[in-house]
Structure 1
């Protein structure tokens, strides 16, 4: 490899790699953008169906589980999706590198989606297992590659991660819309199968983009480091992982996985592996989780404590942010559990006449405008990179031809109906649509003089989520038996939740990459996802109580609970703003 080429992937700015820009960002960002987009298409396309499929009546092709049982399985699935990245990050860092980890994860997930296309329980659970394992390799290493790509441009990272996050939500939007529509109109397993097709194509697109990516994500390749990076790397080399660290990681992971399996098994009356540990006031599985939490706190404290003061303080700041992230996601992720059930059972989704025509026009715009925007980005990328990654671009074009075909088919079907009921999955697409519509505006805010500190962003985000629940809580206030909620309240809820998400999720990943030493990066991304794992499980357990709370109290009580939790956490993180800002030692 020439010296210019070496520089291109190690922080140099004179190479074709960095001259090849798209929309003011490095073209490699958009390779990652589309890779993540198709992975999220498949993931969210399947996820939006899961609770509906499990709780649907047998006559409608479902398993007829209760909300509590479905929530337990979904919570376990979601929790494990965020636990396996800890191991996946360590394996990538130590043995195979980020890029190989992404490819391996993508292949395993493709197998998982294909398995779920078969109409048997065994293949369904095999598919879920493959998705969990594959995500463990994929999830922590995509942002790790992106962090490496922008190592020499820290001031551009917030914007780059926000654009990357828009790719996440573009995939989620089209996945939930098309997989959800096909599943609800043609059959559940058709929707599961469609998700697998785009997972496969997304994998091929990433593999064939290798000439553009150079040594990014390749283990052991030399990099030209800045003076500060060298200090961080030297500090990290003085603090290798100890045998005790690995033992604690193994124990915590085993307990976490056993709990994840035990919760749905015990709630379905199959087996309770921790029943021998039950106390009069505490179930055995929760006792084990408490022990794992204590070990985890010790692991993080001992690991961080070995660094010099500046590095140590910055990593403590990451832990602070991860803690408040739990309160955000335990509320925000109701969109995958309780809000799906609310949309199905308590929202007025029937339309006729002028209302149906208006909805179809709006829905067509919601579909065509984002699809046109993302297609335009594809054209810009193809023009900038065709000479280097033509095959990758061809696969992307095939993907978009298929997406356009499916979208036009869906819209044609809906326009031909005289009366219709909006699909449950349509409401789930609103979050992703609002992200696509608002992400670039918020990204510009982070690059302006009005860019707030990390803690203030978290505070604003949590309060916006609380406002979202307040809106639908007021919409459901005092409704009688058989009366349904106007869909405008649920739409506004998703709008406020999206604004809250934009203040927290993408910038959170960016702060991890800025504050953490290089060799610890993928591991700390794993820790970040562990915080989300805890929140996912809590969210699903609480979300599974929506029917119980509705019957014993009211639906508005359920929503006001989720108004209070994020609002209180938002105010608290704002109070901690001076402390967190000091711990960052100048990182902005």
Structure 2
């Protein structure tokens, strides 16, 4: 019977991790600590930005803080594109993950410095580091399985548990320290978590075999020098634009956020155009990329709503929920742990479900289910917001129920999307395609950050109901087009 594990990733002595290649454990734990740092900081970011200066916050308006949060998340995932390129063409996925982890840790340590500027400087470093780590560690997970193995979805679901284990612990630790003691101490705890992640990766990389050891399509000689020169010109151009904005007095939080949102959308359109017109990919690969474009739109729409958990829903938790338990008012950020703990419980069930169903349920249909459930969560949130009209504090169980519905949607879409990306990727764009998958999150978060500005001016029930029903309608449309998308996938399920 043929193995699902490529020879280069097959563990010595036949040792496995929950029945999967031993190397999955190293990647699982690295991602767990990286997500601890990311979600720990994310859980308190908007609360810190909107806290009054007298409370050691930055005193931003909610609309601006929501947009900053969305754009920051978007940039984290946007940088997955150049991060994938660096791995594919220069240093390989394995070293990209290592250097990404080091830079992320440095960013969190900078954020721990108790000054206002340190937060933005630290976020810039985290953006760069996550761009190197995030797409490439997922690509390495894909390298552990045959290209069309039904075990891939199960493996990615287990990997997803690592993401959410870190996401569960982080708000409890960083949230308590940030909200109850000092904001920057909460950011410092995130730094320590990423340090653990880097140390674990260095210790466990002996299990990785050949996964990610070399660039997939290395640049050599003159081509390498030309690419690095172009990258340098691009960085210089960005610095020039920022300088012009500063000189013109337009270098404000809002102007930078708006500029970056437009840039993310333009980059997305350009990147798809480049791949679809590349004459070096086969007609089959081009057809699969057309299918992937549909999945990309569905995923971006999903993240537009889903990732408002850390902004709009986080502020709702702080301002509109009764968090008193036996005289102790627990931090609002603790509710950010509900989502990941539900995923930890649900991920094995969905891994079993996808393995049991095999190819009987197509990838586009799984995406459609995710969109419908995501929309229904906001419909329920509209009811919660209506109950809070007039200043009444509502039970936090409303948010727990909303997160439970979103989790079911996420497990229908996100790990399946990771797996689909590695299956549909043209060989030439292996790591970069994983970056393109994260670009769907970038587009969703960037547009979602702008959309979230409306939460400050629209009545809350209207806001949640409008975007909830829109997501349900899109999910129904995705079902209608599922057969067409499946045909474009050309034999992939």
Q: TM-score, structure 1 length as denominator?
A: 0.75
Answer yes or no: is 1:513 the counterpart of 2:422. yes
Note closer, same or farther for the CA distance 1:87–1:268 as it changes in structure 2 (3 Å cut).
closer
Answer yes or no: is 1:90 the counterpart of 2:85. yes
The partner residue of 2:277 within 285, 302, 305 is 302
Aligned to 1:227: none
Question: 1:310 Cα shift?
Answer: 1.6
Structure 1 runs of 4+ aligned residues shifted over 6 Å read 246-259, 265-268, 283-290
Does the 8 Å CA contact 1:472/1:490 hold for their aligned counterparts?
Answer: yes
Question: 1:447 Cα shift?
Answer: 0.7
Aligned-partner Cα distance in 1 for 2:408–2:249: 37
The partner residue of 1:343 within 314, 317, 321 is 317
Aligned-partner Cα distance in 2 for 1:262–1:148: 44
Aligned-partner Cα distance in 2 for 1:68–1:88: 30
Aligned-partner Cα distance in 2 for 1:438–1:206: 26
Note closer, same or farther for the CA distance 1:119–1:517 as it changes in structure 2 (3 Å cut).
same
Note closer, same or farther for the CA distance 1:159–1:254 as it changes in structure 2 (3 Å cut).
farther
Question: 1:129 Cα shift?
Answer: 1.2
Note closer, same or farther for the CA distance 1:57–1:520 as it changes in structure 2 (3 Å cut).
same
Aligned to 2:340: 432
Note closer, same or farther for the CA distance 1:208–1:269 as it changes in structure 2 (3 Å cut).
closer
SS of alignment partner, residue 209 of structure 1: helix
The count of aligned residue pairs is 481
Answer yes or no: is 1:475 the counterpart of 2:384. yes
Note closer, same or farther for the CA distance 1:14–1:125 as it changes in structure 2 (3 Å cut).
closer
The partner residue of 1:560 within 465, 475, 489 is 465
Question: 1:210 Cα shift?
Answer: 2.6
SS of alignment partner, residue 429 of structure 1: helix
Cα displacement string for residues 285-336 of structure 1 (whole angstroms, at most 9, x for unaligned residues): 8877776565444323312x64222221112212211111111000111101
Aligned to 1:362: none
Does the 8 Å CA contact 2:4/2:149 hold for their aligned counterparts?
Answer: no
Q: Which deviates more, 287-296 or 118-127?
A: 287-296
Does the 8 Å CA contact 2:78/2:439 hold for their aligned counterparts?
Answer: yes
Note closer, same or farther for the CA distance 1:518–1:257 as it changes in structure 2 (3 Å cut).
farther
Note closer, same or farther for the CA distance 1:545–1:524 as it changes in structure 2 (3 Å cut).
same
Question: 1:17 Cα shift?
Answer: 3.1
Does the 8 Å CA contact 2:34/2:197 hold for their aligned counterparts?
Answer: yes
Structure of greater Rg = 1
The partner residue of 2:445 within 536, 547, 551 is 536
Flag structure 1 segments of 5+ consecutive residues without an equivalent. 1-7, 222-232, 234-239, 275-282, 353-418
Cα displacement string for residues 259-309 of structure 1 (whole angstroms, at most 9, x for unaligned residues): 9x989x9998578589xxxxxxxx988877776565444323312x64222
Aligned to 2:367: 458
Does the 8 Å CA contact 1:69/1:267 hold for their aligned counterparts?
Answer: no
Note closer, same or farther for the CA distance 1:517–1:297 as it changes in structure 2 (3 Å cut).
closer
Question: 1:528 Cα shift?
Answer: 1.5
Aligned-partner Cα distance in 2 for 1:332–1:262: 32
Does the 8 Å CA contact 2:10/2:21 hold for their aligned counterparts?
Answer: no
The partner residue of 1:442 within 338, 347, 350 is 350
Note closer, same or farther for the CA distance 1:509–1:50 as it changes in structure 2 (3 Å cut).
same
Answer yes or no: is 1:202 the counterpart of 2:202. no
Aligned to 1:393: none
Does the 8 Å CA contact 1:343/1:427 hold for their aligned counterparts?
Answer: yes
Question: 1:498 Cα shift?
Answer: 0.6
The partner residue of 1:327 within 301, 318, 340 is 301
SS of alignment partner, residue 486 of structure 1: coil
1:486-505 mapped onto 2 (5 Å cutoff): 486-505=395-414
Aligned-partner Cα distance in 2 for 1:481–1:308: 60
Aligned-partner Cα distance in 2 for 1:273–1:501: 30
SS of alignment partner, residue 477 of structure 1: helix
Question: 1:99 Cα shift?
Answer: 0.5
Answer yes or no: is 1:172 the counterpart of 2:146. no
- Structure 1 vs Structure 2 CA RMSD: 3.3
Note closer, same or farther for the CA distance 1:540–1:13 as it changes in structure 2 (3 Å cut).
closer
Cα displacement string for residues 424-447 of structure 1 (whole angstroms, at most 9, x for unaligned residues): 111111110100011000111101
Q: TM-score, structure 2 length as denominator?
A: 0.89
Aligned to 2:220: none
Question: 1:449 Cα shift?
Answer: 2.9
Does the 8 Å CA contact 1:88/1:136 hold for their aligned counterparts?
Answer: yes
Answer yes or no: is 1:580 the counterpart of 2:472. no
Aligned-partner Cα distance in 2 for 1:40–1:582: 36
Aligned-partner Cα distance in 1 for 2:175–2:259: 38
SS of alignment partner, residue 328 of structure 2: strand
Note closer, same or farther for the CA distance 1:253–1:577 as it changes in structure 2 (3 Å cut).
farther
Note closer, same or farther for the CA distance 1:67–1:529 as it changes in structure 2 (3 Å cut).
same
Question: 1:477 Cα shift?
Answer: 2.3
Cα displacement string for residues 461-491 of structure 1 (whole angstroms, at most 9, x for unaligned residues): 1111111111121222264422122222111
Cα displacement string for residues 175-205 of structure 1 (whole angstroms, at most 9, x for unaligned residues): 1221111211111111111111111111011
Q: Which deviates more, 68-77 or 569-578?
A: 68-77
SS of alignment partner, residue 466 of structure 1: helix
Note closer, same or farther for the CA distance 1:459–1:258 as it changes in structure 2 (3 Å cut).
farther
Does the 8 Å CA contact 1:252/1:295 hold for their aligned counterparts?
Answer: no
Aligned-partner Cα distance in 2 for 1:47–1:257: 30
Aligned-partner Cα distance in 2 for 1:298–1:109: 31
Does the 8 Å CA contact 2:11/2:23 hold for their aligned counterparts?
Answer: no
Aligned-partner Cα distance in 2 for 1:19–1:489: 46
Flag structure 2 segments of 5+ consecutive residues without an equivalent. 218-222
Does the 8 Å CA contact 1:184/1:423 hold for their aligned counterparts?
Answer: yes
Aligned-partner Cα distance in 1 for 2:356–2:108: 42
